[in-house]
Structures are given as structure tokens and as C-alpha cells.
Structure 1
């Protein structure tokens, strides 16, 4: 903006600069509106459930029994 010879040239540069900023702001607002989720839909993925750990209580037959750490499975 420092290279202006006349007041009119400075005014024109300022106008073009402000117009460009307004156009960029309008484009940004338009893009935001396009990204808004449809009513009833969330823009975030569903939350993950926290890990609950293994079920407590007696183990049903046929499922794997837990071994203490350090013990190996018997060889067959």
C-alpha cells in the first residue's frame, strides 16, 4: 500500500483490499453453512463406550479359563 502516487490510487487499493476480505469472509460463512449437520444428526462420531473388563462371576462352560501370568499352556 506504500507505492501509491495519488490519493485516488490509494483509495482504489484500499477498496479492492476490503472487498477481497469481505469476499473471503462470505465464502467462509457459506462453507460453514454447508458443513452444518442435518437436524437429528451429529457432526461428531458416536462416543466409544469405556472398557468394562471381563465379566465377573462364574465362567460358563466352554469358555476359556484365565491362567495366572507366567504359566504356559500345557503341551499336547
Structure 2
């Protein structure tokens, strides 16, 4: 940004820079919304069942 000849060139460069940042932020938000779980689904893994011990009865 230090290599600017006129005030208008500085304004244009700043505008393009801010526009690029906004586009990146919007793209990030769009991708993040696409990755959110479908309604009714949890983002957490299913709960583990508690250990029940060895099966009872005769062993083969």
C-alpha cells in the first residue's frame, strides 16, 4: 500500500482490499453453514454404552 501515486489510487486499493476480505469472510460463513449438522442430528458422537461385563452362561 506504500507504493501509491495519488489519493484516488490509495482509495481504490483500500476498497479492493476490503472487498477481498469481505468476500473471504462471506465464503467462510457459507462453507461453515453447509457443514452444520442437519436438524435433529447432533454434532457430538453418539454416547457410548456402559460396560456390561462378560456374557453370562457357559462358554463354548
- TM bucket (normalised to shorter chain) is 0.7 to 0.9
2-side partners of 1:8 and 1:32: how far apart? Answer: 36
Considering only CA atoms, is the larger Rg found in Structure 1 or Structure 2?
Answer: 1
State the shift of 1:44 in Å. Answer: 2.3
Higher relative contact order (CA 8 A, sep 6+): 2
Structure ranking higher in helix proportion: 2
Q: Secondary structure at the match of 2:54?
A: coil
- List alignment gaps of at least 5 residues for structure 1: 60-76
Per-residue displacement from partner, 1:31-55 (whole Å, max 9, x unpaired)? 1110110111112222334657668
